[in-house]
Structure 1
Amino acid sequence: MAKVVLVLYPDPVNGFPEFPKDYARDSLPELPDYPNGQTLPNPKGIDFTPGALLGSVTGELGLRKYLEDNGHELVVTSDKDGENSVFERELVDADVIISQPFWPAYLTPERLAKSKNLKIAVTAGIGSDHVDLDTANELGITVAEVTYSNSLSVAEHTVMQVLVLVRDFVPQHQIAVDGGWNIADAVERSYDLEGMDVGVFAAGRIGRAVMERLAPFGVHLHYTDRFRLPAEYEEKYNLVFHENIEDLVKNIDVLTVHAPLTDETSGLLDEQLLSTMRRGSYIVNPARGAIADRDAIVRALESGQLAGYAGDVWAPQPAPVDHPWRTMPHNAMTTHTSGTSLSAQAKYAAGTREILECFFEGREIRPEYLIVQGGNYAGTGAHSYAEKK
Structure 2
Amino acid sequence: MPAQRLSVVVTRRLPEVVETRMKELFDVELRDPDTKMTREELAAAMRRADVLVPCVTDQIDASLLAQAGEKLKLIANYGAGIDHIDIASARQRGVLVSNTPGVVTEDTADMTIALMLAVTRRIPEGLALMQSGKWEGWAPTAMMGGRIGGKRLGILGMGRIGQAVARRARAFGMQIHYHNRKRVRPEIEEELEATYWESLDQMVSRMDIVSVNCPHTPSTFHLLNARRLKLMKPSAVIVNTSRGEVIDENALTRGLRAGEIAGAGLDVFEHGHEINPRLRELQNVVLLPHMGSATVEGRVEMGEKVIINIKTFADGHRPPDQVVPGVM
Could you tell me the TM-score, scaled by structure 1's length?
0.76
The Cα of 1:71 is off from its aligned counterpart by 5.5
1:129 is aligned to: 83
Percent identical pairs in the alignment equals 23
Instruction: Provide, for residues 290-320 of structure 1, a one-character-per-residue CA deviation record: whole Å limited to 9, x for no partner.
Output: 1111211110110111111112112333x13
Change (3 A) 1:138 1:184: farther
Mapped to 2, the partners of 1:328 and 1:81 lie a distance apart of 33
2:49 aligned partner? 94
| CA displacement, residues 264-307 of structure 1 (integer Å, 9 cap, x when unaligned) | 11122211110011112111111111111121111011011111
RMSD of Structure 2 on Structure 1 (CA)? 2.2
CA distance in 1, matches of 2:39, 2:141: 49
The answer for the alignment partner of 1:360 in structure 2 is 314
Following superposition, the deviation at residue 162 of structure 1 comes to: 0.7
Cα offset for 1:334?
A: 0.8
Q: Residue 155 of structure 1: CA displacement?
A: 0.5
Match of 1:120 in 2: 74
Cα distance in 2 for residues equivalent to 1:83 and 1:232: 47
- Structure 2 residue 264 is matched with structure 1 residue 309: yes
Indicate if the aligned counterparts of 1:125 and 1:146 stay in contact, CA closer than 8 A. Answer: yes
1:155 is matched by which residue type in structure 2?
Answer: A
1:106-133 Cα distance to aligned partner (Å, 9 max, x none):
1011111111232221222211111012
Select which of 245, 251, 257 maps to 2:212: 257
Distance 1:267 1:344 in 2: 29
Q: C-alpha displacement at 1:354, in angstroms?
A: 1.0
Please show how residues 249-288 of structure 1 align to structure 2 within 5 Å: 249-288=204-243
TM (norm. structure 2) is: 0.90
Alignment partner of 1:206 is 2:188: no
Is the contact between residue 7 and residue 26 of structure 2 (CA under 8 Å) also seen in structure 1?
no
1:331 aligns with 2:285: yes
Structure 1 residues 65 and 252, CA, compared in 2 at 3 Å: closer, same or farther? closer
User: How has the CA–CA distance of structure 1 residues 93 and 118 changed in structure 2, closer, same or farther, with 3 Å as cutoff?
Assistant: same
Deviations 1:137-157 (A, max 9, x none): 322321111111111100000
Q: Conserved in 2, the CA contact under 8 Å of 1:172 and 1:186?
A: no
Aligned 8 A contact 2:83 2:216 in 1: yes
Matches within 5 A, 1:1-389: 1-8=5-12, 54-55=14-15, 59=16, 62-64=18-20, 66-67=22-23, 69-70=24-25, 72-76=27-31, 78-80=34-36, 82-84=38-40, 86-101=41-56, 104-116=57-69, 117-179=71-133, 180-181=135-136, 183=139, 186-188=142-144, 190-317=145-272, 319-320=273-274, 323-366=277-320, 369-372=321-324, 376-377=325-326, 382=327, 385=328
Q: Retained in 2: the 8 A contact 1:301–1:329? A: no
Q: Mind listing any 5+ residue stretches in structure 1 that lack a counterpart?
A: 10-53
Deviation at 1:207, TM superposition (A): 0.3
Q: 1:149 to 1:83 in 2, by over 3 A?
A: closer
Q: Residues 231 and 246 from structure 1, CA distance in 2 versus in 1: closer, same or farther, beyond 3 angstroms? A: same
Deviations 1:180-228 (A, max 9, x none): 136467424x101111110101111100000000102111110011221
Q: Which runs of 5+ in 2 are unaligned?
A: none
CA-to-partner distance for each residue in 1:301-345, whole Å, 9 max, x for gaps? Answer: 10111111112112333x137654433441111111111211211
Higher mean alpha-carbon deviation, 319-328 vs 342-351, is at: 319-328
Confirm or deny: 8 A CA contact 1:222 1:242 kept in the other structure: yes
- Higher RCO by CA contacts (8 Å cutoff, separation 6 or greater): 1
Structure 1 residues 321, 129: CA separation in 2 closer, same or farther (over 3 Å shift)? closer
